[in-house]
Amino acid sequence: MSNFTLKHDGYIGSTSITNSFIRDYMPKAAGEFVKIYIYLLMCLEEKESSLSISDIADVFNNTEKDVIRALKYWEKKGLLELTFDDGELSSLCVTHVSADGSRSYTSTVSTSTGAVQTAPVDAAPQQSAAKYQKRAHSREEIDAFSCRDDFSVTITMAQQYLGRPFTGTEINTLMFFHEELGFPSDLIEYLFDYCTDGGHKDMRYIETVAINWAEQGIKNVAAAKLLNSVYTDKCRKVLSAFGLSGRDPSRSESEWVAKWNLSYGFNTEMILEACNRTMNAIHKPSFDYTDSILQNWKSNKVTTINDLKKLDAQHKSKTKAPARKPASKPAQGNKFNNFPQRDYDWEELENKLINKGLK
């Protein structure tokens, strides 16, 4: 099995086990399960340690299936959150239980190399870290939220979209959507419908989409549908202009198009014109290059094709090539004719050679 990497911001040289874990979770768990969970906590205290399922199995002289069985047990208890990719563990989230029963979280974020690095779940995307903060709720708060009439159906629907029961960590994320982002229950249901319909069932991805919606002022389903239809339609046209048709746009590509449309204020015609000019200039798709074109148009207050024609005419007049100077006369000499030239009487030289030969 592939390796996964566990990281932590600091290292204190010891592993703390809370009384809450000892009192509420340890008595009912198998001894091997407890040892594996504590071992994971120890690994998180290390600044960086590389692990795989087989590594953990070797430490405890267990099979890989035994290790996976232990991890899934703690996931059911709400202390771990696991994500598998093609049957292999690709991400792992550990829930730390404090002495009072409240929870804090350390989540894993998959990288392109297949490794997994940990980062705080509480931290929203960089542009939103100061604006939105996720609070770790206690078990009592999570249970109370789950039993609310207006959200019990929402939780059931969201679980059906993901195809599995929610962990305590995931319900905590739903509470974040409602309390911090201000999403009503029907908007949360549509959020899961929208993400899973695009093949995305990772809660971290769903959370990022929710934060992006909140940043755009989305507070109801109608606004979300309008925004998504705009993004999807525009993104596909941009991909087609770049010669990338035949697939759905990625999240980063959607964010570029949203930026050009919502932040810069350009319509589809202007965005596609910038894409075409990108292809003509560098002969390959580049969202960065297109963004630089649109930034220049925005700074010059260009909003329509007619405005663009005027800007092009101004640019052409400024860069018009000067009249060509008359070509200079060629140099009179070169390395072969810089020496005094001699005139020979070739007939006289021929006669001299003949007479010399006769003699």
- Per-residue model confidence (pLDDT) at position 336: 54
- On the question of pLDDT at 274 being above 90, the answer is yes
Q: How many domains does the chain have?
A: 3
Lowest mean pLDDT: which of 95-99, 101-105, 138-142, 345-349?
A: 101-105
- On the question of pLDDT at 290 being above 90, the answer is yes
This prediction's pTM = 0.40
Q: Do 30 and 75 fall into the same domain?
A: yes
Q: Do 106 and 212 fall into the same domain?
A: no
Q: Do 20 and 116 fall into the same domain?
A: yes
- Per-residue model confidence (pLDDT) at position 186: 92
Q: Is residue 324 part of a domain?
A: no
Q: Is residue 170 part of a domain?
A: yes
Q: Do 184 and 293 fall into the same domain?
A: no
- Per-residue model confidence (pLDDT) at position 124: 31
Beta strand extents in the chain (DSSP E only) = 4-7, 48-51, 80-85, 88-97, 103-110, 116-119
Q: Which of 284, 285, 296, 229 is nearest to 260 (CA)?
A: 296
Q: Is residue 330 part of a domain?
A: no
Q: Do 174 and 253 fall into the same domain?
A: no
- On the question of pLDDT at 5 being above 70, the answer is no
**Residue owning tokens 């087989």:** 54
Q: Is residue 336 part of a domain?
A: no
- Final residue belonging to a domain, choices 77, 102, 121: 121
Torsional sign, CA 84, 189, 174, 157:
negative
Q: Do 5 and 94 fall into the same domain?
A: yes
Summarised one tens digit per residue, pLDDT across range 49-66 is 457 788 888 888 888 888
Q: Do 116 and 147 fall into the same domain?
A: no
Summarised one tens digit per residue, pLDDT across range 124-150 is 333 333 467 788 888 888 888 888 888
pLDDT-derived band at 117 (thresholds 50, 70, 90) equals very low
pLDDT-derived band at 231 (thresholds 50, 70, 90) equals low
Q: Is residue 158 part of a domain?
A: yes
- On the question of pLDDT at 9 being above 50, the answer is no
Q: Do 107 and 129 fall into the same domain?
A: no
Torsion of CA 322, 327, 328, 332, to 10 degrees: 170
Q: Do 26 and 111 fall into the same domain?
A: yes
10 residue type, one letter: G
Residue 158's domain comprises: 124-219
How far apart (Å, rounded) are the C-alpha atoms in residues 57 and 63? 5
pLDDT-derived band at 113 (thresholds 50, 70, 90) equals very low
- On the question of pLDDT at 308 being above 50, the answer is yes
Q: Do 191 and 293 fall into the same domain?
A: no
Q: What is the DSSP letter of 28?
A: G
Answer yes or no: are the C-beta atoms of 194 and 213 closer than 8 Å.
no
**Residue owning tokens 């029963």:** 101
Q: Is residue 328 part of a domain?
A: no
Q: Is residue 351 part of a domain?
A: no
| Mean pLDDT, range 218-231, rounded to an integer | 79
- Cα diameter, the chain: 134
Q: Do 117 and 7 fall into the same domain?
A: yes
- Final residue belonging to a domain, choices 219, 254, 276: 219
Neighbours of 335 (CB within 10 A): 6
- Final residue belonging to a domain, choices 77, 95, 121: 121
Q: Is residue 348 part of a domain?
A: no
Q: Do 79 and 90 fall into the same domain?
A: yes
Q: Which of 281, 259, 274 is nearest to 308 (CA)?
A: 274
**Backbone phi and psi for residue 183, each to the nearest 5 degrees, phi listed first:** -85, 130
Answer yes or no: are the C-beta atoms of 132 and 118 closer than 8 Å.
no
